[in-house]
Structure 1
Amino acid sequence: MNTINPVEVIQQVNEGNILSPQGFKAAGVHAGLRYSKKDIGVILSDHPAACAAVYTQSAVQAAPLDITRESIAAEQKLQGVIVNSACANACTGEQGQKDAYEMRNHAAREFGVPDHYFAVASTGVIGEYMEMDKVKNGISTLKPAGSAQAAEDFGAAILTTDIVTKHCGYEAVIDGKKVTMGGSAKGSGMIHPNMATMLGFITTDAAIESAELQKALSAVTDDTFNQITVDGDTSTNDMVLILANGEAGNEKLSPAHPEWNVFLELLKKTSEDMAKQIARDGEGATKLIEVNVQGMGTKQEAQAMAKTIIGSSLVKTAAYGADANWGRVIAAMGRSNLVFNPEKVSISFGDIKLLHQGVPVDFSEEDAKAYLEQKNIAIHVFLEEGSEQGTAWGCDLTYDYVKINASYRT
């Protein structure tokens, strides 16, 4: 019987990134799709890797998602991912499909691998056609390397309105071998994923088959990327993609492996870290807000309640203004379409109790304001409908969110 506590064996990699695992390279360049910033990036494995992906649940989906699905379906293997910012290649019809294929095939030829070993991802303005001459020229200038700078260049190339690059790395020992996982993501606005985030890429040197990797990614996504919201809008291009090249040399992982839970925790830590970075970097945001809901009948209900609260514009603006208005929290709960007894609800901001069993609690407005002025805020909700709990992450809503999105195309 496995007695390992997976949480205790996971270690964070200092300055971890998409290249922390063995056998991966990356690059990012400026191809002219954006005015001056990097806009084309690539991740490349030294050899074909097991892969898995989750995609947006939006009814409107961009061409690159179709091409990536097709690539994965061919052999359940990938060796590279080509990504661009500035143009989403969404709502672009037959031409958009052709451009996504051309982008994939050009990258595959450039790096000497079969076409279907490449995935494609795009992010940016919807409804504009790709400038393919610039895209192909940019791909031809990519020089993948294994350095920290190469990882940073890739992270910069996939950004749109993001303020900072988002990356992390974690490691654990499995079968006596060090297994490492790294991540790179972009996302700042149009975040309410129904599956993942705008774009997230994960690499690992673990040995695992694609089918088991897909099960793991799908399960972990529900507790991480699916539990963030910035503005309630789901993108046409959302995707999280993971590559596992097996270079760690562990026995192939599956639910029957005695250390399967260690791998799941490694994936959860990586995904949660990136999800929280996305929420923290919400357009115009000044604070990361975490909502913890305890005492619902099912985990899904607890997660839905937490996400309803964090998605409330009134809760988000109260957080921005450091206003301890717990009434906005319970008001959001009331429209969640979930059954609960309001007379059994308790609410705290951090350690400051505001409502207990449906009855207001006297509290220091000054202490509450000081707490809400911090960069990281936790809202705790306690109910008595069951024993399950759920967590969601988001950010405050500021004046700058309107400014950024009012001039997004200009």
Structure 2
Amino acid sequence: MGHVTSVSPFAPKALPDVPEIPGVRFATAEAGIRYKGRTDLLVTVLDPGTVVAGVLTQSKTRSAPVEWCAEGLKSGKARALIVNSGNANAFTGKRGREAVEITAQAAAKAAGCSPAEVFIASTGVIGEPMDAGKFAHLLDQLAKDAVPGGFAAAARAIMTTDTFPKLATRSAEIGGVEVTLNGFCKGAGMIAPDMATMLCFLFTDAAIEQPALQALIAQEADRSFNCVTIDGDTSTSDTLLAFATGAAEARGAPRIADAADPRLASFRAALGDLMRELAILVAKDGEGITKFVTIDVEGAESDRAARTIGLAIANSPLVKTAIAGEDPNWGRIVMAVGKSGEAADRDTLSIWFGDFLVADKGERAPGYEESVVAKYMKGSDIVIRVDVGVGSGRNRVWTCDLTHGYIDINADYRS
């Protein structure tokens, strides 16, 4: 895997203190799937009654584990989650499907459930055959060893080129009873999610029925992970799964069946906030990152159009390299807006770098001073705001710069 020489400058100083969630237990191991001496296998055991919702990559070359999860989401019941890093088990044909089935059967035996209640995710190199025999025999003992808590260890076990584990926690109330939401994810390259992110797993003790949880997850993924891009490449393995154990019901929390139930207001807000934090952590660990970039688009035909324009800017190698070079080249923003395919009026287009208006209604802003804006570009947090002047649609997209470090990591990713 590429030589990750240093931790992202945006890595948190300390990991959050993530509480246990009743009904969720973790165990991790070094299975040697691709690398020696690193944790690369995560086993999660979930109490009976746990429901699962999720969104998966829209890639036309999605992996065998993603296909397996798509099938499992139809029933919406979960008792185990198995994740490995080092091998994506993608583009591996019949052998890939067999590896997933072997894993599911071993995990089902270990967790005392049916294979349909086992969810599987893999991340790493595409196209390498997966030998489930390397770790299937470990699952029984790992399921026995699984303990509550351990979210930080779980987040570490799924990392590939990530330079820090990404985890977050929130609390909310449903019917006057406090519930907890925890999540962790991984991702640093091959990030331009299309319905999910690289890998993200959310857990709550709330008692929410599967259709309601599914509606919430799909909606909030659209406002968080689908607004993140590092390099414009949608993974074959993108998987976002949310597990609700329902344990809070024993403490008096009501069971919620409808996503529109007003008692979900606090939970919905906490879930959206949690997912945005995790999505931003992915952008802040972009391979080779030196700048974290927020792009705000307003004045678009619709919120969806605003996101498309934001992603066109964020995915432009010319924009990203200019930011890496601390060059306030706003002409590249104009270019990216124009190529997005969405409505924009050249003569009403305005652009800001931070608080500095650089282009105003179709031409260079009268007060624009390149030396002043160039100084702003030396900062590590860059905000670009664009008003395309055709409607009231708005959206926010997060990305990072494109540096030599990104090339170094990806030029020898498999070596």
TM-score, length-scaled by structure 1 = 0.92
Partner of 1:202: 202
Partner of 2:240: 240
Q: Is the 8 A contact 2:169 2:180 kept in 1?
A: yes
Tell me by how many angstroms 1:369 deviates. 3.1
Among 392, 395, 404, the residue aligned to 1:387: 392
Tell me by how many angstroms 1:392 deviates. 0.8
Question: Once structures 1 and 2 are overlaid, which stretch shifts more, 180-189 or 111-120?
Answer: 111-120
Report Cα offsets for 1:339-361 as digits up to 9, x if no partner. Answer: 21111111111112111212312
Residue 101 (1) aligns with residue 101 (2): yes
Tell me by how many angstroms 1:159 deviates. 0.9
Unaligned runs of 5+ in 1: 1-13
Map 1:175-190 onto structure 2 (within 5 A).
175-190=175-190
Partner of 2:263: 259
Report Cα offsets for 1:155-180 as digits up to 9, x if no partner. Answer: 11111111111111111222111121
Q: Is the 8 A contact 1:16 1:167 kept in 2?
A: no
Report Cα offsets for 1:352-391 as digits up to 9, x if no partner. Answer: 2111212312334444233323332211111321112111
Residue 57 (1) aligns with residue 62 (2): no
CA distance in 2, matches of 1:205, 1:343: 52
Partner of 2:12: none
CA distance in 2, matches of 1:124, 1:115: 24
Map 1:10-409 onto structure 2 (within 5 A).
15=16, 17=18, 20-33=20-33, 34-73=35-74, 75-142=75-142, 143-147=145-149, 150-249=150-249, 250-253=253-256, 254-361=258-365, 362-409=367-414
Report Cα offsets for 1:12-32 as digits up to 9, x if no partner. Answer: xx8154x54333222221111
Q: Is the 8 A contact 2:199 2:237 kept in 1?
A: yes
Q: Is the 8 A contact 2:26 2:146 kept in 1?
A: yes
**Structure 1 residues 115 and 172: alpha-carbon distance in aligned structure 2, compared to 1, 3 A threshold:** same
Tell me by how many angstroms 1:226 deviates. 0.9
CA distance in 2, matches of 1:286, 1:94: 41
Letter of the 1:400 counterpart: G
CA distance in 2, matches of 1:112, 1:128: 30
CA distance in 1, matches of 2:389, 2:318: 25
Letter of the 1:220 counterpart: E
Q: Is the 8 A contact 2:22 2:148 kept in 1?
A: no
CA distance in 2, matches of 1:383, 1:20: 46
Report Cα offsets for 1:226-275 as digits up to 9, x if no partner. Answer: 11111111111111000011122322232342233322222211111111
CA distance in 1, matches of 2:358, 2:209: 49
CA distance in 1, matches of 2:409, 2:139: 29
Is the partner of 2:189 in helix, strand or coil?
A: coil
Tell me by how many angstroms 1:211 deviates. 0.8
Tell me by how many angstroms 1:42 deviates. 2.0
CA distance in 2, matches of 1:27, 1:372: 44
**Structure 1 residues 30 and 125: alpha-carbon distance in aligned structure 2, compared to 1, 3 A threshold:** same
Q: Is the 8 A contact 1:29 1:153 kept in 2?
A: no
Is the partner of 2:240 in helix, strand or coil?
A: strand
Between the two proteins, the alignment pairs up a number of residues equal to: 393
Is the partner of 1:85 in helix, strand or coil?
A: strand
Question: Once structures 1 and 2 are overlaid, which stretch shifts more, 112-121 or 271-280?
Answer: 112-121
Is the partner of 2:48 in helix, strand or coil?
A: strand
TM-score, length-scaled by structure 2 = 0.91
**Structure 1 residues 35 and 174: alpha-carbon distance in aligned structure 2, compared to 1, 3 A threshold:** same
Is the partner of 2:208 in helix, strand or coil?
A: coil
Tell me by how many angstroms 1:39 deviates. 0.5
CA distance in 2, matches of 1:256, 1:406: 47
Is the partner of 1:305 in helix, strand or coil?
A: helix
**Structure 1 residues 179 and 350: alpha-carbon distance in aligned structure 2, compared to 1, 3 A threshold:** same
Q: Is the 8 A contact 1:181 1:202 kept in 2?
A: yes
Q: What do you get for the CA RMSD once the two structures are aligned? A: 1.7
Partner of 1:8: none
Question: Once structures 1 and 2 are overlaid, which stretch shifts more, 303-312 or 262-271?
Answer: 262-271
Is the partner of 2:91 in helix, strand or coil?
A: coil
State the percentage of identical aligned residues.
36
CA distance in 2, matches of 1:79, 1:192: 30
CA distance in 2, matches of 1:96, 1:256: 39
Q: Is the 8 A contact 1:40 1:139 kept in 2?
A: no
CA distance in 2, matches of 1:102, 1:284: 37
CA distance in 1, matches of 2:239, 2:370: 42
CA distance in 1, matches of 2:36, 2:237: 22
CA distance in 1, matches of 2:255, 2:308: 34
Letter of the 1:182 counterpart: N
Report Cα offsets for 1:3-62 as digits up to 9, x if no partner. Answer: xxxxxxxxxxx8154x54333222221111122211001222233311111111111011
CA distance in 2, matches of 1:327, 1:16: 44
